């Protein structure tokens, strides 16, 4: 079970708890004054655990147990590909260990980049379509729904999959790095997303695109915008809607690194997945950011030490993950130093008023035991300071339009399902399509 799914899909707890663009197509929707209005194409960028991941084992794969051999699972396609994330079978302990082993990434300091476990190939499916974003596991639709309610609501406006509504899944274990550092998987995703934006626009009479992200997808989307020229953004981007984006990281991520995170699923021992969760490049990206979690704010407290966001390197050493220090200091810290304004209209929609981990208290038993938790405000996963980071950092950006919408009592993933939240998201999309202008830096509750 991937630790990064804490950010992407809390729906896991409910269990127990080549791009194809259609020919040029223009869709029109009726609005109240009976005028027909072109719909701007939409691209959905999911949160971490909302991406379906497939794997294939090569002859280099070495079995580590009788169960976890090259022939497991038996259910593969003709080319050897099988479902890796999410598969409901990973809730069974022996399978959990095998799953974690195959999900683990390795940082290679010689090439300064991350790579899969030896003998494991991975891919996402149906890039360009929303189909792989609807459910975590399509075999159990009734308990693993992810973006299905949101997609259905958007389609009621007249949108059609792969015509003017698209999906951009990615391998959520990988992240991005600061300038000058290779990041093959993450930068390839940004290139594919850029091409999807361009193709979606061209297929819809040149209409600029509305980007709608959830959770970690918002961080990737902001990087896409800021890594492309302003002229490109002005031509191809109409608006960016970020749902539940962890701009400044989360305290919950420190729990994942320290003790493992079973996402509330009682059948899973968090220690079985801790090493795999620590290995995810994107999990380091989600460590608490210094500007949102200042020096005087204690995040983790033990009988001998107190750690703030300025002590992440020491924290990684003390939990026994010293190999994470170098990539954190060289690749992540420079990456998160600034949240540059992209110069395109941005709307942040998120929940608040939900108990969210704020400080972790560990006893004499150390990090192998789950901590006592002090809670604060947020959406249950992301702290309120992180959710509000753009409002704070862009307040003096005269050329940046930012709208912030807070939804009381809406959790990190319920924002994709709750009727009130969905109505707010759809209203925002409709407003953008009708080109109703709004003043910059509007805050709504």
The residues that are catalytic are: 215, 379, 412
Structure tokens at 270: 């968090």
CB 25 within 8 A of CB 203: yes
Are β-strands 36-38 and 28-30 bridged in parallel, bridged antiparallel, or unpaired?
antiparallel
Structure tokens at 246: 């962890």
Buried b vs exposed e over 193-231: b needs ≥16 C-beta within 10 Å?
beebbebbbebbeebbbbbbbbbbbbbbbbbbbebbeee
H/E stretch holding 180 reads none
The closest of 321, 334, 283, 291 to 309, measured between CA atoms, is 291
Instruction: Report the half-sphere exposure of 192 (CA within 13 A, side-chain side).
Output: 22
Are β-strands 402-408 and 442-444 bridged in parallel, bridged antiparallel, or unpaired?
parallel
DSSP per residue, 59-113: TT---SSSSSSTT-SS---TTS-EEEES-GGGGSHHHHHHHHHHH-EEEETTTTE
Cα distance between residue 77 and residue 87, in whole Å = 15
DSSP 244: S
């Amino acid at each position: 079970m991937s630790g990064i799914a804490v950010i992407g899909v809390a729906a896991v707890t409910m269990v127990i708890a080549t791009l194809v663009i259609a020919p040029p197509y223009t869709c029109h929707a009726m609005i109240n004054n009976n005028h027909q209005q072109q719909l701007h194409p939409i691209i959905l960028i999911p949160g971490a655990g909302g991406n379906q991941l497939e794997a294939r084992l090569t002859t280099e794969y070495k079995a580590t147990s009788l169960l976890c051999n090259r022939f497991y699972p038996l259910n593969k396609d003709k080319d050897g590909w099988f479902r890796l994330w999410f598969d409901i079978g990973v809730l069974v302990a022996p399978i959990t260990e095998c799953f974690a082993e195959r999900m683990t990434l390795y940082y290679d300091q010689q090439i300064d980049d991350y790579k899969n476990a030896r003998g494991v190939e991975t891919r996402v499916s149906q890039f360009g379509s929303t189909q792989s974003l609807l459910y975590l596991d399509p075999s159990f639709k009734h308990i693993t729904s992810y973006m299905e309610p949101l997609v259905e609501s958007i389609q009621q406006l007249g949108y059609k999959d792969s015509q003017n509504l698209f999906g951009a899944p990615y391998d959520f274990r990988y992240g991005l790095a600061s300038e000058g550092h290779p990041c093959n998987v993450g930068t390839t995703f940004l290139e594919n997303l850029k091409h999807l934006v361009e193709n979606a626009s061209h297929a819809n009479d040149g209409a600029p695109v509305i980007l709608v992200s959830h959770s970690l997808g918002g961080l990737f989307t902001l990087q896409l915008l800021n890594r492309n020229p302003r002229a490109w953004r002005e031509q191809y981007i109409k608006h960016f809607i970020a749902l539940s984006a962890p701009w400044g990281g989360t305290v919950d991520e420190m729990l994942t690194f320290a003790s493992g995170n079973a996402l509330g699923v009682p059948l899973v021992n968090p220690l079985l997945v801790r090493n795999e969760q620590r290995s995810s490049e994107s999990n380091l990206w989600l460590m608490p950011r210094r500007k949102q979690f200042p020096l005087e704010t204690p995040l983790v407290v033990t009988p001998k030490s107190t750690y703030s966001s300025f002590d992440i390197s020491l924290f990684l050493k003390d939990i026994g993950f010293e190999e994470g220090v170098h990539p954190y200091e060289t690749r992540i810290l420079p990456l998160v130093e600034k949240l540059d304004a992209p110069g395109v209209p941005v709307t942040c929609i998120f929940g608040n008023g939900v108990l969210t981990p704020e400080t972790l208290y560990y006893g004499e038993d150390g990090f192998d035991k789950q901590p006592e938790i002090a809670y604060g405000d947020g959406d249950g996963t992301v702290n309120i300071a992180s959710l509000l980071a753009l409002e704070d950092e862009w307040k003096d950006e005269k050329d940046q339009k930012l709208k912030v919408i807070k939804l009381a009592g809406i959790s990190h993933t319920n924002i994709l399902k709750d009727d009130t939240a969905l109505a707010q998201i759809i209203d925002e999309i409709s407003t953008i399509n009708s080109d109703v202008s709004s003043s910059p830096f509007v805050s709504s509750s």
